[in-house]
């Protein structure tokens, strides 16, 4: 069930009505979440049920003996590896024993991470097991963040789940206006911006760019497409949770305005970055493998490996691995730079960071490493032109020949950056407080009405959320 569909709006409205009118709030959200995931199909639902039930059992075992953590993680990540990476791994070792491709179960990357974080937290004494299966299931399956995050920790979400079932969670009615505003913001990002940019990006990457300018345009637009797509989804997820009085962690904080790569990753997919920091980077960086003088090298290696794994999490392809490794190396470089060299002026830092993010996005979007290097070669005019790709490509993608068309393209690209800057100015705490204060029937109908109008707009092309495929 997609968040940018009318039937999700109906679903959300019905669940909200039941939630407000009936006393069994935790059970209502659990039933809604199960129904929401069941729409993904029987196979995905059965797999999710098996993983949830097994993890429910493991949490008690881990509480008693933390060595049970390893079989639990093997099971969780084994499922992830089998469904998401088996073809990649088998191909990488040159021995593909599997003959049939398997569709990746919906949201498996997200819920496996969330469950593993919970189990690790229990083993570290930072989380308490759920004795009630229903509460554990809601913690895992809450429909608002089930499919693509935010990846929530026990300390953020666990107590809220208990309060829901204990009927202690007071629905702050003034959060409703804020929740609807976030849903509307997310829909604008997705329906108006991301879905409009997507076809141009697809055309450029499908046909191959006809020159350096077209190549830059393609990757620039893709960078914004994925931001609007994923942050739009996250806004809807957080906003719809607000309708039920539940607070989910923020996932984006206008990352393209970051002055360094390290800060970029503190503002982009924040919950994933924190997961990787706490459960991958810190253990790798802290493990004693060499003397103190190799500490920096170890950190460099740990960061590169962590981010390479981050890349691999996004997709089973070497393009993602290289993209992640480059991010890791850049983060270490930025950290070392800030430690040993005087920081550059903020504008230069921002431009270098944004340029790096845009350029490395080529690896994120390209179907193969060869394609990515060809594309980069075209971007930096290292080759005469992009090699012909695919039989469908009648010709390479060209910019409009007339000056006005080029001007409009450049204006549009800069407008995207301006919109991002505007977002940083508008989505502030003051704005949230203002909505909180003005919250009421009028404001709610304004936000909900505008959101429904956007949902009613017929879809010319199917554009599922990009992160749903991860």
Q: How far is CA 17 from CA 32, 165, 214, in A?
A: 12, 17, 49
| Environment class of 306 (CB within 10 Å of its CB; exposed 0-12, middle 13-18, buried 19+) | buried
**At closest approach, how far in Å is the CB of 101 from other proteins?**
13
Q: Is the CB of 250 or the CB of 444 nearer to other proteins?
A: 444
Q: How far is it, in rounded angstroms, from Cα 354 to Cα 372?
A: 19
DSSP structural state of residue 143: T
Which region among 1-9, 58-66, 142-150, 313-321 touches other proteins (by CB under 8 A)?
Answer: 1-9
Q: Any contact of residue 138 with other proteins (CB under 8 A)?
A: no
Establish if 200 lies at the interface with other proteins (CB under 8 A).
yes
Please report whether residue 441 would count as binding other proteins according to CB under 8 A: yes
3-state class (DSSP) for residue 239: helix
Single out the residue of 236, 230, 221 nearest to residue 185, CA to CA: 236
Question: Does residue 183 interact with other proteins by CB under 8 A?
Answer: no
Residue 261 and residue 350 in contact, taking contact as beta carbons nearer than 8 Å: no
Q: Which of 298, 323, 300, 302 is nearest to 312 (CA)?
A: 323
Sign of the torsion formed by the C-alpha atoms of 92, 97, 100 and 104? negative
Q: Which stretch binds other proteins (CB under 8 A): 109-117, 265-273, 306-314, 435-443?
A: 435-443
How many other C-beta atoms lie within 10 A of the C-beta of residue 332? 20
210 part of the interface to other proteins, by CB under 8 A: no
Q: Is 47 in the site for other proteins (CB under 8 A)?
A: no
314 has catalytic annotation: yes
Does position 460 bind other proteins by CB under 8 A?
yes
Q: Which of 170, 394, 401, 429 binds other proteins (CB under 8 A)?
A: 394
Q: Check: CB of residue 223 under 8 Å from CB of residue 240.
A: no
Instruction: Work out whether 3 is an interface residue with other proteins (CB under 8 A).
Output: no
Compute the distance between CA of residue 237 and CA of residue 247 in angstroms, rounded to an integer: 10
User: Contacts with other proteins in 54-113 (CB under 8 A)?
Assistant: none
Q: Is 391 in the site for other proteins (CB under 8 A)?
A: yes
Torsion-angle region of 381 (φ positive above 0: left; ψ -120 to 50: alpha; else: beta): left
Least gap, CB of 160 to other proteins (angstroms):
29
- Residue 367 in contact with other proteins, rule: CB under 8 A: no
Among 256, 261, 253, smallest CA distance to 336 is for 261
Binding segment for other proteins (CB under 8 A), chosen from 145-153, 238-246, 322-330, 436-444, is 436-444
DSSP 8-state class, residue 209: B
Q: How far is the CB of 427 from other proteins (least distance, A)?
A: 18
459 binds other proteins (CB under 8 A): yes
- How far is it, in rounded angstroms, from Cα 43 to Cα 57? 21
Any contact of residue 368 with other proteins (CB under 8 A)? Answer: no
Nearest to 469 by CA among 344, 326, 365: 365
Annotated catalytic residue within 100, 269, 299, 314: 314
Q: Give the HSE-up count for residue 180: Cα atoms under 13 Å, Cβ half-sphere.
A: 23
Distance between alpha carbon 163 and the CA centroid of its chain, in Å? Answer: 27
Region binding other proteins by CB under 8 A among candidate stretches 286-294, 325-333, 350-358, 447-455? 447-455
Task: Work out how close the CB of 394 gets to other proteins at its nearest, in angstroms, rounded to a whole number.
Answer: 6
Nearest approach, Cβ of residue 382 and other proteins (Å): 28
Q: What is the dihedral of CA 413, 417, 423, 425, to 10 degrees?
A: -140
Shortest spacing between CB 247 and other proteins, in angstroms: 25
Question: What 3-state class would DSSP assign to 397?
Answer: strand
Measured between its terminal Cα atoms, the distance across the chain in Å is 16
Size of the site for other proteins (CB under 8 A): 42
- 3-state SS class at 110: helix
Q: Among 203, 352, 369, 417, which residue interacts with other proteins (rule: CB under 8 A)?
A: 203
Interface residue with other proteins among 192, 212, 335, 399 (CB under 8 A) is 192
Query: Of 93 and 401, which CB lies nearer to other proteins in the complex structure?
Result: 401
- Which residue in the set 195, 229, 235, 374 belongs to the binding site for other proteins (CB under 8 A)? 195
- Least spacing, CB of residue 346 vs other proteins, in Å: 31
**Closest distance of CB 457 from other proteins, Å:** 6
Our finding on whether 439 is near other proteins (CB under 8 A) is no
436 binds other proteins (CB under 8 A): no
Tell which one of 63, 202, 278, 406 touches other proteins (CB under 8 A). Answer: 202
- Closest by CA position to 240, among listed 172, 162, 181, 195: 181
Query: CA-to-CA distance for 222 and 420, rounded, in angstroms?
Result: 14
| Token pair for 111 | 């819920």
Q: Tell me which of 21, 170, 384, 456 binds other proteins, using CB under 8 A.
A: 456
Q: Is 199 in the site for other proteins (CB under 8 A)?
A: yes
Q: Does 17 bind other proteins (CB under 8 A)?
A: no
443 near other proteins (CB under 8 A): yes
Q: Which residues bind other proteins (CB under 8 A)?
A: 2, 5-7, 191-193, 195-197, 199-200, 202-203, 206, 391-392, 394, 408, 412, 440-450, 452-454, 456-462, 464
Active site residues: 314
């Amino acid at each position: 069930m997609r968040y940018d569909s009318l039937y999700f709006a109906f679903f959300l409205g019905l669940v909200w009505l039941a939630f407000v009118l009936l006393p069994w709030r935790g059970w209502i959200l659990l039933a809604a979440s199960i129904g929401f995931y069941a729409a993904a199909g029987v196979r995905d639902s059965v797999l999710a049920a098996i993983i949830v039930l097994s993890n429910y059992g493991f949490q008690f075992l881990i509480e008693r003996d933390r060595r049970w953590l390893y079989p639990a993680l093997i099971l969780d990540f084994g499922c992830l590896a089998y469904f998401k990476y088996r073809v990649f791994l088998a191909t990488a070792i040159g021995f593909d024993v599997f003959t049939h491709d398997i569709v990746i179960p919906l949201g498996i990357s997200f819920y496996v991470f969330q469950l593993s974080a919970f189990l690790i937290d229990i083993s570290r004494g930072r989380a308490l097991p759920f004795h009630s299966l229903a509460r554990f299931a809601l913690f895992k399956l809450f429909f608002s963040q089930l499919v693509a995050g935010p990846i929530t920790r026990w300390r953020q979400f666990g107590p809220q789940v208990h309060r829901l079932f204990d009927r202690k969670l007071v629905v702050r009615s003034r959060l409703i206006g804020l929740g609807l505003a976030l849903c509307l913001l997310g829909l604008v990002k997705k329906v108006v911006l991301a879905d409009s940019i997507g076809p141009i990006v697809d055309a450029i990457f499908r046909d191959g760019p006809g020159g350096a300018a077209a190549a830059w345009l393609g990757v620039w637009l893709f960078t914004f497409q994925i931001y609007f797509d994923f942050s739009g989804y996250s806004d809807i997820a957080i906003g719809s949770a607000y309708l039920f009085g539940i607070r989910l962690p923020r996932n984006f904080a206008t990352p393209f305005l970051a002055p360094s790569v390290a800060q970029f990753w503190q503002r982009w997919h924040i919950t994933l970055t924190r997961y990787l920091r706490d459960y991958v980077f810190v253990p790798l960086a802290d493990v004693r493998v060499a003397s103190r003088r190799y500490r920096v090298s170890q950190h460099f290696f740990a960061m590169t490996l962590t981010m390479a794994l981050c890349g691999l999490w996004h997709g089973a392809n070497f393009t993602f691995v290289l993209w992640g490794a480059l991010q890791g190396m850049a983060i270490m470089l930025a950290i070392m730079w800030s430690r040993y060299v005087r920081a550059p002026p903020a504008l230069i830092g921002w431009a270098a960071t944004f340029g790096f993010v845009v350029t490395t996005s080529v690896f994120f979007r390209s179907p193969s490493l060869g394609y990515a290097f060809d594309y980069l070669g075209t971007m930096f005019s290292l080759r005469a032109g992009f090699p012909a790709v695919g039989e469908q490509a009648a010709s390479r993608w060209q910019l409009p020949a007339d000056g006005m068309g080029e001007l409009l393209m450049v204006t549009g690209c800069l407008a995207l950056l301006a919109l991002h800057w505007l977002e940083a100015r508008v989505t502030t705490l003051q704005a949230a407080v203002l909505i909180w204060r003005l919250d009421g029937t009028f404001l709610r109908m304004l936000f909900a009405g505008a959101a429904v109008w956007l949902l009613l707009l017929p879809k010319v092309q199917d554009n599922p959320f990009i992160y749903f495929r991860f």
